[in-house]
């Protein structure tokens, strides 16, 4: 009996190899995914398959391919790829796709991110639950096995990424990119090749054992090598990519990190210059600066739940031009509503190039409040803790769009459970640091387990 309970998440499949995710399970998931595609898109005859640099991806993706072919669908293998390259391939070829990746998780993990044609998201409410059910009730094999072909789409992807900026406006900036032995080592040098950017790539070798540091740049300790190198070489901008290179984190010339909220506000402002009045989406843990900047630029700001499948669906419904998450995911309507750290990085470099300012100056109007950053606490009963906190702060403006958000005149916080770990995540923003730290202490005191 295949066990799926540990690996099927809200918007992807992920687990440790081989105890939670192995070839047998991936073969069954491949067959279930193909059967789901046949129902959702009856005219589709092929599925795109990519993988990141994790050693386990070779065997797991091969098993998945067997499962897909058992249902009569053929596969288009694109080999080693970043997640945003797979999304591009799905949009470019108008085919469903999957990538084997565990993103920022440690080397012992692997997983699957999947989409329908044109990079349309598949989450728990839009297909993952159906796929999981079919793993336990397998579809009958087709009379004829599907075939296979290979494609190299890196050049087409690079040209697509460059369409989001005026490459003639790029200045000869010094840029350091830490790709953490992840897929950024493939796509970042290709994207910058031939541009007037002096690029240095740290840890460019594709190595899914992550010998230098974890490919999880949202953790401050994993940005330290980049920060030191930015100062050593006098770089204008530092870029840190996660393992599958769909997220980017930015540091300025002083080696000071910019939050995902700051980048969201900056990119939104830039894009609204060319599309006044457009809709911009930000997830609900982004700084309220984002909504203010969008409104001031003449756009319409919408709040979303955290998670790519929710944001992409909301973009499709609203026609939004751009969306950003505090976690470093940035989505573009003209990128098939998919996220791309590389495109966001390009936009930031264009802004620095054209502003006549250092990034440390350029960022100032986009940072108006003190933010706690995401603070994680392990709890035994997340629901009980959330209700206890909600009861204490019921005089604020309360909403349950994603976990618990409570807003007061001069501060707000969101408390939500992790989709992948037994954690509660607290994000809090206030007018100044002193009041913000006091509020953090107040909320976290309520989160301590009581006996």
Asked if 61 is an active-site residue, the reply is no
Cα–Cα nearest to 414, from 400, 394, 435 = 400
Crossing angle for the helix pair 23-40 and 56-70, to the nearest 10 degrees: 40
366 and 262 Cβ atoms separated by less than 8 Å:
yes
Asked whether the CA dihedral 131, 136, 141, 142 is positive or negative, the reply is negative
435 and 391 Cβ atoms separated by less than 8 Å:
no
Residues 110 and 181: their CA atoms lie apart, in Å, by 15
Query: Could you tell me the CA-to-CA distances from 405 to 401, 444, 447 in Å, in that order?
Result: 8, 15, 15
Given the DSSP bridges, would you call strands 330-332 and 322-324 parallel, antiparallel or unpaired? antiparallel
Query: Could you tell me the CA-to-CA distances from 162 to 8, 27, 349, 450 in Å, in that order?
Result: 35, 37, 12, 54
Let me know how long the chain is: 451
User: Which token pair is 147?
Assistant: 């075939």
Which residues, in sequence order, are CB contacts of 39 under 8 Å at separation 6+? none
Given 103, 118, 340, 372, the catalytic residue: 103
Asked whether the CA dihedral 352, 356, 361, 363 is positive or negative, the reply is negative
Residues 140 and 70: their CA atoms lie apart, in Å, by 9
386 and 426 Cβ atoms separated by less than 8 Å:
no
Asked whether the CA dihedral 206, 209, 214, 215 is positive or negative, the reply is positive
User: Catalytic residue positions?
Assistant: 103
């Amino acid at each position: 009996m295949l066990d799926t309970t540990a690996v099927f998440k809200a918007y992807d499949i992920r687990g440790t190899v081989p105890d939670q995710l192995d070839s047998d399970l991936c073969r069954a998931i491949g067959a279930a995914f193909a059967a789901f595609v046949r129902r959702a898109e009856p005219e589709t005859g092929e599925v795109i398959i990519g993988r990141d640099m994790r050693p386990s991806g070779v065997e797991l993706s091969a098993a998945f391919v067997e499962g897909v072919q058992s249902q009569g669908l053929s596969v288009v293998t694109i080999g080693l790829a970043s997640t945003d390259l797979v999304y591009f391939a799905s949009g470019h070829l108008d085919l469903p796709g999957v990538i084997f990746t565990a993103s920022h998780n440690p080397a012992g993990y692997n997983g699957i991110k999947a989409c329908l044609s044109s990079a349309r998201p598949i989450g728990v409410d839009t297909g993952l639950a159906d796929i999981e059910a079919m793993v336990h009730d397998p579809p009958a094999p087709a009379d004829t096995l599907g075939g296979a072909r290979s494609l190299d789409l890196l050049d087409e992807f690079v040209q697509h990424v460059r369409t989001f900026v005026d490459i003639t406006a790029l200045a000869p900036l010094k840029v350091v990119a830490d790709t953490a032995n992840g897929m950024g080592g493939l796509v970042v040098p290709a994207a910058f090749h031939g541009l007037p950017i002096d690029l240095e790539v740290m840890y460019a070798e594709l190595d899914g054992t992550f010998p230098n540091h974890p490919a999880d740049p949202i953790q401050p300790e994993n940005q330290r090598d980049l920060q030191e190198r930015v100062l050593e070489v006098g770089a204008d901008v530092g870029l840190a990519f996660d393992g599958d290179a769909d997220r980017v984190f930015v540091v300025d010339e002083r080696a000071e990190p910019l939050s995902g909220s700051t980048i969201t506000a900056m990119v939104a402002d830039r894009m609204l210059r060319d599309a006044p009045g457009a809709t911009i989406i930000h997830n609900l843990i982004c700084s309220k600066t984002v909504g203010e900047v969008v409104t001031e630029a003449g756009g319409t700001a919408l709040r979303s739940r955290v998670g790519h499948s929710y944001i992409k669906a909301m973009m499709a419904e609203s026609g939004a031009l751009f969306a950003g998450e505090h976690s470093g995911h940035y989505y573009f309507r003209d990128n098939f509503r998919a996220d791309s750290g590389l495109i966001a990085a390009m936009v930031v470099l264009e802004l620095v190039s054209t502003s006549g300012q250092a990034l440390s100056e350029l960022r100032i109007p986009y940072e108006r409040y003190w933010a706690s950053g995401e603070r994680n606490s392990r709890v035994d009963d997340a629901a009980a803790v959330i209700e206890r906190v909600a009861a204490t702060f019921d005089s604020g403006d309360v909403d349950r769009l994603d976990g618990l958000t409570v807003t007061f005149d001069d501060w707000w916080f969101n408390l939500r459970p992790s989709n992948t770990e037994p954690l509660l995540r607290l994000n809090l923003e206030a007018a100044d640091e002193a009041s913000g730290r006091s509020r953090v202490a107040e909320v976290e005191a309520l989160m301590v387990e009581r006996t």
